[in-house]
Amino acid sequence: MNRAIAVLCVVAVMATIFMKADSGTNRRPAFCNVIPTKPSTPVRYGYQVYYFDKKDLKCKCFRSTRYSGDIGGNAFHNFKPCMRTCSANGFFACPRRGLKV
């Protein structure tokens, strides 16, 4: 009897761990999976646009001549709202202005 209770407790703990590990994706809004339109050629100057990359689960950045609100998709003006809204594990910073891309 004690062995059955111990096994049941272990299974319950493992199920709780797996559910908690996957809970970030459950709370992520659907628009986080929509990648914004990037410029066809990389831009050295312009606005920093952060977006959530669902493959890496991180917020990534690119430069654009258009503001993040005009681009569409999951474009953000800063990494903080990107990380907060889409439950990202981290972010990649934009290259500094004027550097070769």
Residues 6+ apart with CB under 8 A from 47: 63, 64, 65, 66, 67, 68, 77
Domain at 29-86: CATH code: 4.10.410.10
pLDDT, position 17:
61
Question: How crowded is residue 63: how many other Cβ atoms within 10 Å of its Cβ?
Answer: 19
Alpha carbon 37 to chain centroid, angstroms: 16
Element holding 63 (H helix, E strand): strand 58-64
pLDDT band at 2 (very low <50, low <70, confident <90, very high): confident
Q: Alpha carbon of 4 to those of 12, 13, 16, 17, 18: distances in Å?
A: 12, 14, 18, 20, 21
Segment 52-99, tens digit of pLDDT: 998 989 999 999 999 888 888 899 999 999 999 998 898 888 877 766
